[in-house]
Amino acid sequence: MRVRVEAAREAFTRLYGPGEVRLFFAPGRVNLIGEHTDYTGGYVFPAALTLGTWAALRPRKDGVFRLVSTRFAKGARFTRNEVRFRREEGWANFPKGMIRELAESGARLPGADILYFGDLPPGAGLSSSASLGLVTGVALSALEDRKPTMLDLIQMVRRAENRFIGVQCGIMDPFASGMGKAGHAILLHCRRLEYHHVPLNLGDYRLLIIHTNKARDLAESKYNERRRECREGFHQLRQQLPEATDLGGVGEEAWQEAQDAVKSPRLRKRLAHVITENARVLQSEQALKAGDLHRFGELMKASHRSLRENYEVTGRELDALFDAAIQVPGCIGARMTGAGFGGCTVNLVHREAVKSFRQRVGEQYFAETGRQAVFHATAIGDGAREIREGEEREWQCW
Ligand code: GLA
């Protein structure tokens, strides 16, 4: 990584001229369990990755923003008074949405030249967009006298995606990116925004992320459809449970008694997923605390099956990866992670089995789908921050 950081400083200087450069980072995330629960006010259990988005920044004084990415050909230039969504500007709309939020919060916004670079595979469901928004927020708020808190920035990223980009996502992705801690997962209650870090003592096991190499084309429309279904199902459920304030707060027992209030079998399946998934998150935390990795792995598998059968967001590729993974000795847990319809799975694999796991899953996946699976050995890293001199050295292993 060090090489890439130095290369980015050089690239920044080539692009914008010599002078001081500050560096900021916001990680991507993997969700270990608790999928499609955040927008119902339930529990999630994500962790920040060491992969993410960097921003090299130099402040300006004229209120102008120039944004360039090493990944995409087209950049953007605008002033703080003309921050508008422009479809043709693609990726740059994410930082723009964040700048709009900062402006609305009263930030001074003196302007900046920014060069973005990153090592998250785009479109893999590892939160490249949340990390792009958050790194912009962290970098630009470093120039302000009155700095927003990390929680403020996290909420701004979510609002920017909801209002500026038009994606109705929940709070999980920016929260994991902002509050991550190396070696820990985050147990977050998404309505109360209460959280704590849980040490990931995985012993001889490793977390492997596998990318299906499939574009998540249905993700957006189906995502919004699932959100609607949850709202509708919950509305019906409340006939039996009038005191319930949100779906995330409905426990399994109450559900057993009240589920007949939901007339449509399709909506019943959606709600059954959310309610059982919330319970699995809490059980996972207990299993990890007790050092029972096999139990945690079983909960991961149950989560995938529920996302496949009840929530119907997996699809052929994610299911092929899951089915191949759980047959390999040494793999004790697997599930899709993120919104679904493509993207990645996360797998819990004994370190001695990693090599055979990669080979067997790769072969079987290719035989079934004609696609090459991409494997990412992950480390769980810290949340968004400014990168100081010297910290770069820690990244050499990447
Ligand atoms: C996407 C959204 C998150 C969350 C997950 C599903 O990643 O951005 O808010 O809803 O899907 O768990």
Going from N- to C-terminal start, the domains of the chain cover 2-198+380-390, 200-377
Is 123 annotated as belonging to a binding site? yes
CA torsion angle for 134, 139, 143, 144 (degrees, to 10)? 10
Per-residue model confidence (pLDDT) at position 276: 98
Which of 3.40.50.10490, 1.20.1600.10, 3.30.70.890, 1.10.3210.10 would CATH assign to domain 200-377? 3.30.70.890
- The Å distance, Cα 307 to ligand 1 centre, comes to 13
- The Å distance, Cα 338 to ligand 1 centre, comes to 5
The finding on whether 169 has its CB within 6 A of some atom of ligand 1 is: yes
The finding on whether 339 has its CB within 6 A of some atom of ligand 1 is: yes
State the closest ligand 1 atom to the C-alpha of 171, by its place in the atom list counted from 1: 9
The finding on whether 233 has its CB within 6 A of some atom of ligand 1 is: no
Decide if 382 is catalytic: no
Tally: H helices and E strands in the chain: 11, 13
- The Å distance, Cα 362 to ligand 1 centre, comes to 26
The finding on whether 273 has its CB within 6 A of some atom of ligand 1 is: no
- The Å distance, Cα 396 to ligand 1 centre, comes to 31
State the closest ligand 1 atom to the C-alpha of 125, by its place in the atom list counted from 1: 7
Is 161 annotated as belonging to a binding site? yes
Q: Is 160 helix (H, G, I), strand (E, B) or coil?
A: helix
Per-residue model confidence (pLDDT) at position 215: 76
| Strands in the chain per DSSP E | 22-31, 43-44, 46-59, 64-69, 76-79, 112-118, 184-189, 194-199, 205-211, 331-337, 344-350, 374-377, 385-387
Per-residue model confidence (pLDDT) at position 159: 98
Closest CA to 113 of 191, 200, 16: 16
What is the DSSP secondary structure assignment for residue 370, as one 8-state letter? Answer: S
The finding on whether 174 has its CB within 6 A of some atom of ligand 1 is: no
Per-residue model confidence (pLDDT) at position 218: 61
The finding on whether 158 has its CB within 6 A of some atom of ligand 1 is: no
Is 127 annotated as belonging to a binding site? yes
Query: What does each of the 398 residues of the chain score in pLDDT, given as a tens digit?
Result: 455 677 778 889 999 999 999 999 999 999 999 999 999 999 999 999 999 999 999 999 999 999 999 888 899 999 999 999 999 999 999 999 999 999 999 999 999 999 999 888 878 899 999 999 999 999 999 999 999 999 999 999 999 999 999 888 999 999 999 999 999 999 999 999 999 999 999 999 999 999 999 877 666 779 999 999 999 999 999 999 999 999 999 999 999 999 999 999 999 999 999 999 999 999 999 999 999 999 999 999 999 999 999 999 999 999 999 999 999 999 999 999 999 999 999 999 999 999 999 999 999 999 999 999 999 866 899 999 999 876 654 443 32
Per-residue model confidence (pLDDT) at position 394: 43
- The Å distance, Cα 379 to ligand 1 centre, comes to 21
- The CA distance from 386 to 142, in Å, is 9
Ligand 1 pocket test target in 36, 278, 307, 336 with most atoms within 8 Å of CB: 36
Is 89 annotated as belonging to a binding site? no
Per-residue model confidence (pLDDT) at position 398: 28
Is 69 annotated as belonging to a binding site? yes
- The Å distance, Cα 36 to ligand 1 centre, comes to 6
The finding on whether 36 has its CB within 6 A of some atom of ligand 1 is: yes
Which residue out of 62, 145, 173, 246 is catalytically annotated? 173
**Whole-prediction pTM value?**
0.96
What is the DSSP secondary structure assignment for residue 243, as one 8-state letter? Answer: T
Per-residue model confidence (pLDDT) at position 393: 46
What is the DSSP secondary structure assignment for residue 155, as one 8-state letter? Answer: H
- The CA distance from 389 to 2, in Å, is 11
Is the domain spanning 2-198+380-390 CATH 3.40.190.10? The answer is no
CA torsion angle for 130, 167, 376, 324 (degrees, to 10)? 160
Per-residue model confidence (pLDDT) at position 391: 67
